[in-house]
Structure 1
Amino acid sequence: MLEVALRHRFAADGFSLDAGFTADGAGVTALFGPSGCGKSTILAAVAGLLRPQAGRVVLDGQALLDTATGIFLPPERRRFGVVFQEARLFPHLSVETNLRYGERRAPRGATGPGFEEVVALLGIGHLLARRPAGLSGGERQRVALGRALLARPRLLLMDEPLAALDTTRRAEVLPFLARLRDAARLPILYVTHALDEVDALADRLVLLEAGRVLAEGGVEALTARTDLPLAARRDAGVLVGCTVLAHDAARGLTRLGFGGGELLVPLRPEPPGSRLRLRLRARDVAVATEAPRSLSMQNVLPATLEAIAPTGTPHELFLRLAVGPTPLLARVTRDSAERLGLLPGQMLWALVKSVAFGLPAPASSRDGPPS
């Protein structure tokens, strides 16, 4: 487990950081928030690239930083792998030699994926003879990930590794990051301000604002909260963990199972049994007070209205719904809520178009079946 508690001010009237959180012994903890909230500062302090004025960084019981007792382990002794926005590959070396450099830095006896496994994992076998100048941005980042992983670090730190890539290249690299997450089986601290990266990769979320931690916890739980800045976004919604149950190619649909029942979504390529996580945006959920009939919407889910909350917009409200054990959010006008006479505890039907679902992201292989 990683434990972090940091305090630092850059100048008398400059940016002030006062943040603390924990991260599990495996999986991705995302530091998320707007630019300037302190994400990269925290990462630099954890890596040993910044010596904060006060704080502690502890990994698996070993203090790497403790200003109270004078402990400060230098970066090279922390055994952390760091991946930045720019790949920072050695330009005069081939891809293979760049990877072997990381491999040579691995301590004797350290466990982790070997060279061939990493190359296959990241799909870079055909690039081994090339030099970085002959690679696309996405390919360079995959090589940088491989080099960091081959050093067999205790902790992998990623500072917005996809921020310098265009939309196409980001979509190319995200699946490889998900595969790396599951294969590496080590803690990953991931800095981003892109919500789709959180959706695709994060197991745990640390939400930051102005150098402070607003909330931390499981990513699915935090996306369902209406009291956090996430809810102020127009794409606000919950993440729902699902399992692919079956495909109906003739109808162009895939049937997914989740804790509250089943969903029909546009045909997916994943085989039955695959785990997915998809974002269901609050603005794409409608409600009915009676069982609807003759609708084009494929998904009609019995739900309980748990709470009605403000959205920050005067004429709109959030409805927090429970579909079995799974929370959903619906964004409706205040007029609709009053016209329907909505009250907490009321039984409703949640209505969702099949095409409303965002692109599902691979869930961690550690996930069990939906509960």
Structure 2
Amino acid sequence: MLSVELKHRLPDFSLDVRFEAPLGVTVLFGRSGTGKTTVVQAVAGLLCPDRARIMVDGEVLGDTDQRHWLPPHKRRMGYVFQDARLFPHLTVRQNLLYGQKFAPRGSKPESLHRVVELLGIGSLLHRRPGLLSGGEKQRVAIGRALLSAPRMLLADEPLAALDEARKAEILPYFERLRDEIGIPILYVSHSAAEVARLATTVVVMQDGRVRHQGAAADVLADPEVMPTGVRSAGALLKARVHCHHSDGLTELDAGGVALFLPRIDRTPGTTVRVRIAAHEVILSRQRPEGLSALNILPGQVEHIRTGSGPGAMVSLRTPAGRVLARVTRRSAAALDLAPGVDCHAVLKTVSIAPVDIGRGQ
């Protein structure tokens, strides 16, 4: 358990945060410039805030009131930056082994073989960083951090410098770290898709403050929580792979309701996470007929959030979980939507992108 309390004055605003990060992936989520990186740097010991108390599993790493501040090399934090920061003159194997030099005596770091297998970098061991793609470099950087036997992994927007293809390549490896390595991860992101794929706990930051904190499914499906704007709003559903069809579709069991996706590489019985973007959902009071859309989730309106613009965010309770739909206020009025009203969420199969489908815990 990581416990963080800190206050720090920055040029544009004052940072004042307090949160706890349990085992799993805790994502600091919000727009750029909200203080997320400053928090991670304080946890790593790279920055001493104006006032702070930081603890990991009961050990105090820093307490400014007591004038106690452990230097970075004594905190046993593995740090993965936006850029990999590999040594260009060393091979991948040598870069990895460099991380082992920082494993404390008596610790039991992951073996080189295990890390190489986990991150899929066996074919890269004799290359130098200059011959690696951005995604490959980041996997090596993660491996180097793991081999230092850290008590926690800190990842400061590690996918920000990658294109969409490289992001899709590396996300499954972070999922494996979450599920197979018993090290808590503090992860910084402003991408709702990354949060939906990886987070077990979400800490929403806005203007230097913690606005919300909770389980990923609860926070992402809360219509009041949209730190990166309405275009990124959406819900997170957990479902089980039921079967694969010969026409290229995968059928999921989402709370007893069939949900069809373009074929995914998962075996039947496997649990997956599926992010449903709010702007991709259409609402109907009656179960629609004669549509090309295959996914129709029955539900009941929980809440309708409106602002000064023409849009409305409708929250539905469905057997699969909470679903958000972004519609116009005119549409909400025409459908006579109100809390308690029965409704159907309609979703095109092809609107669910591969990056929105992740490994279930």
What TM-score does the superposition give when structure 2 sets the normalisation length? 0.94
Cα shift at 1:54: 0.7
SS of corresponding position for 2:232? coil
Over the aligned positions, Cα root-mean-square deviation in angstroms equals 1.8
Query: What is the identity, as a one-letter code, of the residue corresponding to 1:320?
Result: S
Is 2:238 aligned against 1:241? yes
Kept after mapping to 2: 8 A contact 1:275/1:362: no
Corresponding pairs, count? 360
Superposition deviation, residue 315 in structure 1 = 2.1
Provide the residue aligned with 1:2 in structure 2. 2
Partner of 1:327: 322
Q: Indicate if the aligned counterparts of 2:273 and 2:360 stay in contact, CA closer than 8 A.
A: no
Corresponding position: 1:133 with 2:127: no
- Which of residues 307, 311, 315 in structure 2 aligns to 1:316? 311
Aligned position for 1:369: none
Partner of 1:94: 91
2:346 equivalent in structure 1: 351
Measured in 1, the distance between the counterparts of 2:74 and 2:357 equals 35
Given that 2:299 and 2:317 are in contact with CA atoms closer than 8 Å, whether structure 1 keeps it comes out as yes
Q: Would the aligned equivalents of 1:223 and 1:237 in 2 still touch at CA under 8 Å?
A: yes
For 1:164, what is the secondary structure of its paired residue? coil
C-alpha distance in 1 between matches for 2:291 and 2:81: 49
Partners in 2 of 1:95 and 1:79 — Cα distance?
A: 22
Q: Which runs of 4+ in 1 moved over 3 A?
A: none
Q: Which residue of 1 aligns with 2:249?
A: 253
Q: In the alignment, which residue of structure 1 is the partner of 2:197?
A: 200
Taking the aligned partners of 1:308 and 1:32, their CA distance within structure 2 comes to 24
For the structure 1 residues 62 and 230, does the alpha-carbon distance in structure 2 shift closer, same or farther, using more than 3 Å as the test? Answer: same
Say if 2:26 and 2:186, in contact at 8 Å, map to a contact too. Answer: yes
**Superposed CA offset, 1:84-137 (max 9, x none):** 112111222211111111123212332343110100111111111122222222
Q: Which range moves more in the overlay, 68-77 or 231-240?
A: 231-240
Q: For 2:99 and 2:218, locate their aligned partners in 1 and report how far apart those are by CA, in whole Å.
A: 37
> Map of 1:1-371 to 2, 5 A cutoff?
1-10=1-10, 14-24=12-22, 26-230=23-227, 232-249=229-246, 251-259=247-255, 261-310=257-306, 312=307, 314-324=309-319, 326-359=321-354, 360-365=356-361
Provide the secondary structure at the position in 2 that maps to 1:264.
strand
Question: For the residues of structure 1 that align with 2:161 and 2:229, how far apart are their CA atoms?
Answer: 26
Q: CA deviation at 1:271?
A: 1.4
Between the aligned partners of 1:132 and 1:232, the Cα distance in structure 2 is 37
How far off its partner does 1:257 sit?
A: 1.6
- Give the Cα–Cα distance (whole angstroms) in 2 for the partners of residues 152 and 2 of structure 1: 17
Q: What amino acid sits opposite 1:134 in the alignment?
A: L
Q: TM-score, normalised by structure 1?
A: 0.92
Q: Flag structure 2 segments of 5+ consecutive residues without an equivalent.
A: none
Amino acid of the residue matched to residue 282 of structure 2?
A
Cα distance in 2 between the residues matched to 1:268 and 1:168: 16
8 Å CA contact 1:318–1:329 kept in 2: the answer is yes
C-alpha contact (below 8 Å) 1:113/1:183 kept by paired residues: no
Deviation at 1:325, TM superposition (A): 6.4
Once residues 54 and 263 of structure 1 are traced to their aligned partners in structure 2, the CA distance between those partners, rounded to angstroms, is 49
Which whole-Å deviations, capped at 9, do the CAs of 1:269-318 have from their partners, x for residues lacking one?
211122221111222222222232222221222211112221x3532212
Go from structure 1 to structure 2 and tell me whether the alpha carbon gap of 1:325 and 1:352 turns closer, same or farther (over 3 Å shift): closer
Identical-residue share of aligned pairs (%): 47
5+ long unaligned stretches in structure 1: 366-371
> Residue 325 of structure 2 aligns to which amino acid in structure 1?
A
The alpha-carbon distance between structure 1 residues 167 and 353, as it changes in their structure 2 partners (threshold 3 A), is: closer
**3-state secondary structure, aligned to 2:338:** coil
* CA distance in 1: counterparts of 2:336 and 2:134, whole angstroms: 54
Deviates more, 1:42-51 or 1:283-292: 283-292
SS in 2 for 1:234: helix
Q: How far did residue 40 of structure 1 move? A: 0.7
Q: Is the 8 A contact 1:241 1:363 kept in 2?
A: no
Letter matched to residue 248 of structure 1:
H
Answer whether contact 1:280 1:358 (CA < 8 A) is retained.
no
SS in structure 2 at match of 1:242: strand
